[in-house]
């Protein structure tokens, strides 16, 4: 578990990400919607980067192929930063993300 001094919403997202359970990933992803503030999207982006649990990673993959556009975009960023190009390429070829997202880090 990360030792940090974060509080509030960011703290909650970090705890969920470090757990990485599928329900926790759902909680994180529910924050990505048309009402999301820029700050909240940054919090989600940061917290997703902390997911290491295989079940959590699999759940992020689910969102890459089944989530809303914004959820797919942040899932793509997650996999790009991990160097998991094949999964991102598959989502791109299926038209689920655009080329900007497919090659973003």
Domain ranges of the chain: 8-102
Q: What count of other Cβ atoms lies within 10 Å of the Cβ of residue 53? A: 17
The C-alpha atoms of residue 46 and residue 50 are separated, in whole angstroms, by: 7
Token digits of residue 45: 């982006």
Nearest Cα residue to 72 out of 102, 35, 103:
102
How far does the chain reach from its first CA to its final CA, in angstroms? 25
pLDDT tens by residue, 6-46: 788 999 999 999 999 999 999 999 999 999 999 999 999 99
DSSP state of 5: -
* pLDDT greater than 70 at residue 70: yes
DSSP state of 51: -
pLDDT confidence band for 4 (50 / 70 / 90): low
The gap from C-alpha 69 to its chain's centroid, in whole angstroms, comes to 12
């Amino acid at each position: 578990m990360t030792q940090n001094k974060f509080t509030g919403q960011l703290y909650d997202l970090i705890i969920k990400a470090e757990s990485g359970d599928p329900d926790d990933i759902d909680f994180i992803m529910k924050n990505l919607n048309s009402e999301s503030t820029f700050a909240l999207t940054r919090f989600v982006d940061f917290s997703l980067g902390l997911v290491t649990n295989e079940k959590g990673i699999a759940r992020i993959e689910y969102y890459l192929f089944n989530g809303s556009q914004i959820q797919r975009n942040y899932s793509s960023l997650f996999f790009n930063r991990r160097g998991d190009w094949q999964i991102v390429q598959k989502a791109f070829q299926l038209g689920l993300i655009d080329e900007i997202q497919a090659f973003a880090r």
